Structure 1
Amino acid sequence: MQQVCLLTVVSLFVTSAQCKTPGLQTRITDRALEYATEVALDILSKQVTGQQIPDQHGQSGDVKFDITGMNVKQFTKPSSRVSLIQNVGLSWSTSGTGLAIHGDFKYKYRKGIIKISDHGSFDLKANSINFQIKIEIGMDGTGRPTMKAVGCSCNVGSADIKFHGGAAWIYNLFSGQLENTLKDMVGGGNGLLCKQLNTLIDVNGMKSLQKLPVTVQIAKRFLLDYRFLSKPSFQTKFMETYHKGEVYWNAVPVDAPFAAPPLLKSSDTSRMMYIWLSDYVFNTMSYNALKYNQLQYNVTNKDLPSGVLNTTCPQSTCIGKIIKAIGTKFPNTTVMLYMKSTSMPNMTVQNGSTVVNASGDIVFFAQQPGGKYTYFLTLSATMSTTISLMIQNEKVFAKVLKLPISVTVKDSKIPVSPEGLNFIVKGIVSVFVEPKLNELGAAGFPLPVINSVHFTNTQLTVAKDTLLIATDLKYSG
């Protein structure tokens, strides 16, 4: 099923938040709508061309006629214009549409004792067709967008019919009425074009909206919520929408105990679409990850280069050689590190950089015979990670640029030297933490976009509390 790009682009984002600061905001400009209508007319042309028209039967004076087998052979694209209507949605109007229709006819002429019947085919050209339709955009009770076609009107400027076969002089007796009949079938609020437009908006368009990912599962544990907070806001050159932009614990979707910060202000309309993504989105995920014990991990030899966590080794690259007290107290075994966050990792976006601050404990255990573990050391760790962000395939990707980690001894059953702490940081923690963070960043953070709409000419701006994505769009439906 093909879909009108106008509907698809409009259906991406809808709202205007008055009661709560959004975690995500979008702006769709008049440039996007102009592009959308061009694609929409291409699709409308494909759907109208070949369309079958119901048979018609009529009488004009002494002539009875039947028109059958009608279908649209050609659709001439018009010029079009989309305007934004405050508190309603969009108004789409066109001028100069043309249609070519082919069909068959038969007639019976009877006057006194004269009886004539014949059949043939005809070609109708309808020109200067103008239509206008309004599209109401709103939201339902679940926070999903809605759209509805309202008040379609269509006017056919002229119609020219040519008959093939039969007695030419009889055509003049009913051609005028037939032309008017066919004009009414094409034009009017219930004509061919308005029916197709209503179907595209009310049926195809709503099916497109159902594919819009307003909630997305992440790692089967979290729920990314892009539902709309209220109806759209319409300005002269753009429509703006506001979304919840929060990540929940999937099993218990409860709001985080902090609000989203204000988003960056911008008046730019040079691109087709703008997306403001707040650091609130990441921080709500971080909050729930800590709350539901997702920020903890047991690090063993399988997570690190071979033998690093051994307490005995022929070389000097294992933990038992670097921190000799471990090798002496727990020979011929391995160490396990239990890493856990002690506070919520917090992302801050400002001055062109994105930083994640985190703190936690690293607890050391030595494995004993029989699978038991003996505790011997706890370190406090802090890190301030600088990451780079990029937009690709309608997702936000991240990569670690700098990962400074500092550790201090919180509790210890053994002596630990500064050299030993340095080895733990550089040789163990960094080797494990950075790949894990890059693995998360490479998975990508999905933006609420339907599959058939893609970003082109995209620019990412990093400002206070905000990632601002400015992009043009390409439809590939």
Structure 2
Amino acid sequence: MANSARALPPLLLGLLLMSAPGALGANAGLVARITDKGLEYVTREGLVTLQSELHKIMLPDFTGDFKIKHAGHGQYEFHSLDIRSCELLGSALRLLPGQGLTFTISDSFIRVQGKWKVRKRFLKLQGSFDLQVKGITLSVNLLLGSQPPGRPTVTASSCSSYIRDVEADMSGNLGWLLNLFHSQIESKFRRVLESKICEMVQKLVNSDLQLYLQTVPVTTEMDSFASIDYSLMEAPRATAQMLDVMFKGEFFNHHHHSPVAFVAPVMNLPEEHSQMVYFAVSDYVFNTASLVYHEAGYLNFSITDDMIPPNSNIRLTTKSFRTFVPRLARLYPSMNLELQGVVVSAPLLNFTPGNLSLAPQMEIEGFVLLPSSVRAPIFRLGVATNVSAMLTFNTSKITGFLKPEKVQVELKESKVGAFNVALLEALLNYYILNTLYPNVNDNLAKGIPLPLLKHIQLCDPVLQIHKDFLFLGSNIQYKRV
């Protein structure tokens, strides 16, 4: 099948994956919504494929016997039938509450060319003909469902087509042949073509469209240990206003997919219709990501003296710390230090209208690197900071950027006596602002991919921040290949 003939399946499937109800249950981490504007776009683009497929319909030969007054008996054959052109008008894609979608076409026409033969005893006549098939209507219902492991399914639950009129033009002055066509062949031809149209549509839906559904990611791998679960929570739901799909939207570790201790919030989506599609992405998606990366130790870090710029006045040595921790230098003269930082718990992203923030809590432990390669613990610090977040999205992904404020350091425990942590605070601010968060932002810039169909891209993006979720509006574009 030609690549251009695959436009309808992805675009129809795009509907299945881009819609959501006004208020959803707590188990949906990501929901999507398609508007009337999106349905109109899919209808326009889908006609390209349908017209291409109509050209491929193989019409059978029509043969039989005839009897004409004053001419007697004979045999006829209409063969080499070929659909030369078609024009599909009055198309629409509408919601079918409780089932899925209804795709209709009305007042369309097809032009068919072919050849004819007539035999009567030893007499043989032949020529060509041209048929105008007018007033074609088509209606097909698309039943939407889901199957393990959470993939969407689609079947053509019903299909009907009707042809209002057929006009024939035969080569030569053969009025009797036209009468033969209308009296014996036309109704048969109409029934066959109506059946062939529905047969073609059934194949597109149950084969091509269903196969294209497999391009919807049930899981999307992020890196060597984390993936996103984009399985459907239930079958797509059609209402009178919208088509709904609920995705789990949960990060998990490849090696142990353990249950999450919290649930996704209910999202009350605003009534927006200016874009073709809308995605609502709850804080559940981001916070399960935080949980997975925290458990993997992704935000833990270590600072040694060789990581500090050579021109820095602050060194990670006992000598550099001598002025404000004299006992440290006496106990461990001229030795290097190491700081090890851990995030106490997974930092949760907080969504408030127009604002995203998080407040990670860290602990940093200081060690002396002894000549024996043993590390001797000397102090433990508590580190707190507020971080503002900015999220954007492009043609297929949500990307992010974190901007931390100045860290605040508190001495939790010391084996070398009480001391002023101001110098350490300056060192940690330098490292966190110039090394730790830039590394995190580099990874956030890679983005979280949205569950899109193959060849579907987003354009004209609009982003809103609501309580507990992001609301992403976009138009869609199918990239033909």
**TM-score higher than 0.5 here?**
yes
Partners of 2:134 and 2:179 lie apart in 1 by 23
Offset at residue 215 of structure 1 (A)? 1.4
**Residues 69 and 368 (structure 1), Cα distance of their counterparts in 2 relative to 1, 3 Å cut:** farther
Q: CA deviation at 1:76?
A: 0.5
Per-residue deviation, 1:104: 2.4
Look up the match of 2:458.
455
Aligned equivalents of 1:315, 1:7: Cα separation in 2:
60
Distance apart, 1:82 and its partner CA? 2.1
Task: Check if 1:269 corresponds to 2:273.
Answer: yes
Q: Among 406, 427, 438, which residue is 1:404 paired with?
A: 406
1:154 alignment partner in structure 2: 161
Structure 1 residues 55-66: aligned runs within 5 Å: 55-61=61-67, 62-66=73-77
Q: How many residues align?
A: 462
Question: How far does residue 223 in structure 1 lie from its aligned partner after superposition?
Answer: 2.5
RMSD over aligned CA atoms reads 2.6
Does the 8 Å CA contact 2:57/2:200 hold for their aligned counterparts?
no
Alignment deviations for residues 71-124 of structure 1 (CA, whole Å, 9 cap, x no partner): 2111102111222122111111111221112222222124xxxx4212222221
Contact kept, 8 Å, 2:410 with 2:421, in 1: the verdict is: no
Deviation at 1:429, TM superposition (A): 2.6
Q: 1:346 aligns to what SS in structure 2? A: coil
Give the distance between the partners of 1:193 and 1:327, measured in 2 at CA.
89
Residues 342-379 of structure 1, C-alpha deviations (whole Å, 9 max, x = no match): 11211111031111221121223344446543333322
Equivalent of residue 449 in structure 2, options 442, 446, 450: 446
Name the structure 2 match of 1:54.
60
1:65–1:107 CA contact under 8 A, matched in 2:
yes
* Residue in structure 2 matching 1:316, options 313, 317, 336: 313
Partner of 2:171: 164
Q: TM-score, normalised by structure 2?
A: 0.88
Aligned to 1:239: 243
Distance 1:203 1:257 in 2: 40
Correspondence for 2:341 among 339, 342, 359: 339
In structure 1, stretches of 5+ residues that fail to align are: 308-313
Residue in 2 that maps onto 1:9? 14
Task: Note closer, same or farther for the CA distance 1:50–1:242 as it changes in structure 2 (3 Å cut).
Answer: closer
1:288, distance to aligned residue in structure 2 (A): 2.9
What secondary structure is seen at the aligned counterpart in 2 of 1:52? coil
* SS in structure 1 at match of 2:280: strand
1:310 aligned residue:
none
Which residue number in structure 1 is paired with residue 144 of structure 2?
137
Q: 1:186 aligns with which of 160, 183, 193?
A: 193
| Matched residue, 1:83 | 94
Where in structure 2 are the equivalents of 1:287-366 lying within 5 Å?
287-300=291-304, 304=307, 306-307=309-310, 316-320=313-317, 323-324=321-322, 325=325, 334-366=336-368
Q: Give % identity.
A: 22
Partner of 2:70: none
Q: CA deviation at 1:144?
A: 1.2
Is 1:15–1:228's contact at 8 Å kept on the other side of the alignment?
Answer: no
Instruction: Tell me what 1:471 maps to.
Output: 474
Please state if 1:256 is matched with 2:260.
Answer: yes
2:88–2:105 CA contact under 8 A, matched in 1: no
Normalised TM-score (structure 1): 0.89
| Partner in structure 1 of residue 39 of structure 2 | 33
Q: Is the 8 A contact 1:377 1:412 kept in 2?
A: yes
Q: Alpha-carbon deviations, 1:375-404, whole Å to 9, x = none?
A: 333221122210111111221111123433
CA shift, 1:235, in A, is 2.4
| Superposition deviation, residue 276 in structure 1 | 0.8
Bigger shift: residues 90-99 or 398-407: 398-407
Once the two structures are superposed, residues 310-329 of structure 1 have per-residue CA deviations (whole angstroms, 9 ceiling, x without a partner) of xxxx8624333753357776
Letter in 2 for 1:471: S
Task: Give a deviation string over 1:10-33, Cα, whole Å, max 9, x none.
Answer: 232578797643111211122211
CA contact (8 A) 2:392 2:398 kept: yes
